Amino acid sequence: MLNHLRSPQREVRTAYEALPDVGTFLGDLGKALASGPRAPAEEAFPLLYEEVKRSPYPLNDSETFGLLILAVTLNPPPGREWSGVTLTRQQRLAIRLVADRAWRIDDGVPTVTGNIVDLLERVGLPGKREQLFALLAGTPEGAQTPEEEAKWSPQSKRRPWWKFF
Protein backbone atom coordinates (compact mmCIF):
# COMPACT_ATOMS: atom_id res chain seq x y z
CA MET A 1 0.00 0.00 0.00
CA LEU A 2 2.78 2.40 0.90
CA ASN A 3 4.62 1.59 -2.29
CA HIS A 4 1.58 2.55 -4.30
CA LEU A 5 1.26 5.85 -2.44
CA ARG A 6 4.96 6.58 -2.94
CA SER A 7 4.72 6.01 -6.69
CA PRO A 8 1.08 5.86 -7.79
CA GLN A 9 0.23 3.70 -10.77
CA ARG A 10 -2.94 4.77 -12.52
CA GLU A 11 -3.57 1.36 -14.08
CA VAL A 12 -3.60 -0.36 -10.64
CA ARG A 13 -6.14 2.14 -9.35
CA THR A 14 -8.32 1.82 -12.46
CA ALA A 15 -8.21 -1.99 -12.35
CA TYR A 16 -9.11 -2.03 -8.64
CA GLU A 17 -12.08 0.30 -9.09
CA ALA A 18 -13.36 -1.86 -11.98
CA LEU A 19 -13.83 -4.80 -9.60
CA PRO A 20 -17.40 -5.41 -8.42
CA ASP A 21 -18.42 -4.45 -4.88
CA VAL A 22 -15.42 -2.28 -4.00
CA GLY A 23 -15.17 1.39 -3.11
CA THR A 24 -12.75 3.83 -4.60
CA PHE A 25 -9.11 2.84 -4.40
CA LEU A 26 -7.98 5.74 -2.20
CA GLY A 27 -10.91 5.33 0.18
CA ASP A 28 -10.32 1.63 0.66
CA LEU A 29 -6.60 2.28 1.03
CA GLY A 30 -7.27 4.78 3.85
CA LYS A 31 -9.61 2.36 5.63
CA ALA A 32 -7.07 -0.48 5.38
CA LEU A 33 -4.24 1.71 6.68
CA ALA A 34 -6.43 2.90 9.59
CA SER A 35 -6.83 -0.68 10.78
CA GLY A 36 -3.14 -1.53 10.48
CA PRO A 37 -0.03 -0.69 12.50
CA ARG A 38 0.51 2.93 13.48
CA ALA A 39 3.98 3.50 11.96
CA PRO A 40 2.98 2.76 8.34
CA ALA A 41 -0.26 4.71 8.84
CA GLU A 42 1.64 7.79 9.98
CA GLU A 43 4.00 7.50 7.03
CA ALA A 44 1.09 7.01 4.64
CA PHE A 45 -1.09 9.91 5.84
CA PRO A 46 0.67 12.78 4.01
CA LEU A 47 0.86 10.70 0.85
CA LEU A 48 -2.82 9.73 1.00
CA TYR A 49 -3.79 13.31 1.87
CA GLU A 50 -2.07 14.64 -1.25
CA GLU A 51 -3.65 11.96 -3.45
CA VAL A 52 -7.15 12.68 -2.11
CA LYS A 53 -6.52 16.42 -2.41
CA ARG A 54 -5.67 15.96 -6.11
CA SER A 55 -8.56 13.59 -6.72
CA PRO A 56 -10.90 14.48 -9.57
CA TYR A 57 -13.77 13.44 -7.26
CA PRO A 58 -13.75 16.15 -4.56
CA LEU A 59 -16.89 14.98 -2.77
CA ASN A 60 -16.38 11.24 -3.09
CA ASP A 61 -17.68 9.72 0.15
CA SER A 62 -15.31 6.74 0.07
CA GLU A 63 -12.14 8.80 -0.45
CA THR A 64 -13.13 11.37 2.15
CA PHE A 65 -14.11 8.72 4.68
CA GLY A 66 -10.84 6.82 4.13
CA LEU A 67 -8.80 9.96 4.77
CA LEU A 68 -10.86 10.99 7.81
CA ILE A 69 -10.79 7.54 9.43
CA LEU A 70 -7.03 7.36 8.97
CA ALA A 71 -6.57 10.82 10.52
CA VAL A 72 -8.75 10.17 13.57
CA THR A 73 -7.25 6.75 14.29
CA LEU A 74 -3.70 8.11 14.36
CA ASN A 75 -4.33 9.77 17.72
CA PRO A 76 -7.90 9.47 19.00
CA PRO A 77 -8.83 11.14 22.29
CA PRO A 78 -9.64 8.93 25.28
CA GLY A 79 -13.19 7.65 25.03
CA ARG A 80 -13.49 9.36 21.62
CA GLU A 81 -14.62 12.52 23.42
CA TRP A 82 -13.65 15.34 21.05
CA SER A 83 -14.75 18.34 23.15
CA GLY A 84 -11.80 20.25 24.55
CA VAL A 85 -9.29 18.22 22.53
CA THR A 86 -6.45 19.74 20.56
CA LEU A 87 -6.55 18.11 17.17
CA THR A 88 -3.38 16.76 15.62
CA ARG A 89 -2.05 18.35 12.46
CA GLN A 90 -3.26 15.35 10.43
CA GLN A 91 -6.76 15.60 11.89
CA ARG A 92 -6.97 19.34 11.16
CA LEU A 93 -5.76 18.84 7.60
CA ALA A 94 -8.28 16.07 6.91
CA ILE A 95 -11.21 17.92 8.48
CA ARG A 96 -10.37 21.16 6.68
CA LEU A 97 -10.10 19.37 3.34
CA VAL A 98 -13.54 17.84 3.83
CA ALA A 99 -15.07 21.09 5.11
CA ASP A 100 -13.58 23.22 2.34
CA ARG A 101 -15.04 20.85 -0.24
CA ALA A 102 -18.44 20.40 1.38
CA TRP A 103 -19.34 23.80 2.84
CA ARG A 104 -20.17 26.39 0.22
CA ILE A 105 -21.62 29.87 0.10
CA ASP A 106 -24.35 30.03 -2.54
CA ASP A 107 -25.88 33.48 -3.04
CA GLY A 108 -24.68 34.53 0.40
CA VAL A 109 -26.21 31.50 2.14
CA PRO A 110 -24.01 28.80 3.76
CA THR A 111 -24.91 25.40 2.35
CA VAL A 112 -23.58 21.88 2.73
CA THR A 113 -22.80 19.77 -0.30
CA GLY A 114 -23.08 16.07 0.40
CA ASN A 115 -23.85 14.52 3.75
CA ILE A 116 -20.88 15.87 5.67
CA VAL A 117 -22.63 15.55 9.04
CA ASP A 118 -23.06 11.81 8.61
CA LEU A 119 -19.49 11.46 7.38
CA LEU A 120 -18.02 13.32 10.37
CA GLU A 121 -20.18 11.45 12.86
CA ARG A 122 -19.17 8.09 11.32
CA VAL A 123 -15.57 8.76 12.36
CA GLY A 124 -16.61 10.03 15.81
CA LEU A 125 -16.28 13.77 15.16
CA PRO A 126 -19.02 16.27 16.04
CA GLY A 127 -21.47 16.77 13.20
CA LYS A 128 -22.50 20.32 14.03
CA ARG A 129 -20.62 23.00 12.15
CA GLU A 130 -20.17 25.20 15.23
CA GLN A 131 -18.65 22.36 17.30
CA LEU A 132 -16.32 21.39 14.50
CA PHE A 133 -15.42 25.02 13.89
CA ALA A 134 -14.52 25.31 17.59
CA LEU A 135 -12.26 22.26 17.34
CA LEU A 136 -10.40 23.80 14.41
CA ALA A 137 -10.11 27.29 15.93
CA GLY A 138 -7.32 28.36 18.23
CA THR A 139 -4.63 26.15 16.74
CA PRO A 140 -1.73 27.25 14.53
CA GLU A 141 -3.08 25.61 11.38
CA GLY A 142 -6.73 26.03 12.29
CA ALA A 143 -7.07 29.59 13.55
CA GLN A 144 -10.12 31.18 12.00
CA THR A 145 -9.80 34.53 10.30
CA PRO A 146 -12.39 37.23 11.05
CA GLU A 147 -13.67 36.77 7.49
CA GLU A 148 -14.24 33.03 8.05
CA GLU A 149 -15.99 33.70 11.36
CA ALA A 150 -18.29 36.27 9.76
CA LYS A 151 -18.95 33.97 6.81
CA TRP A 152 -20.03 31.02 8.97
CA SER A 153 -21.65 32.78 11.90
CA PRO A 154 -25.43 32.46 12.16
CA GLN A 155 -27.11 35.24 10.22
CA SER A 156 -29.70 36.10 12.84
CA LYS A 157 -30.24 39.62 11.47
CA ARG A 158 -31.64 38.27 8.20
CA ARG A 159 -35.35 37.64 8.14
CA PRO A 160 -36.58 34.43 6.57
CA TRP A 161 -37.91 34.95 3.04
CA TRP A 162 -41.47 34.06 4.05
CA LYS A 163 -41.70 36.94 6.53
CA PHE A 164 -41.42 39.51 3.75
CA PHE A 165 -44.98 38.76 2.57
Encode 101-157 in three state secondary structure. HHEEEECCEEEECCCHHHHHHHCCCCCCHHHHHHHHCCCCCCCCCHHHHHHHCCCCC
- Give the per-residue pLDDT at 156: 42
pTM score: 0.76
Per-residue pLDDT tens, the chain, 165 aa: give them.
788 888 888 888 888 888 888 878 888 999 999 999 999 999 999 999 999 998 887 778 888 899 999 999 998 888 878 777 778 888 888 888 887 777 665 666 666 666 777 888 888 888 777 777 777 765 555 556 676 666 555 554 444 444 444
- Give the per-residue pLDDT at 150: 64
- Give the per-residue pLDDT at 97: 84
- Give the per-residue pLDDT at 164: 44
- Give the per-residue pLDDT at 61: 83
Rounded to the nearest 10 degrees, how much is the dihedral formed by the CA atoms of 23, 27, 29, 30? -150
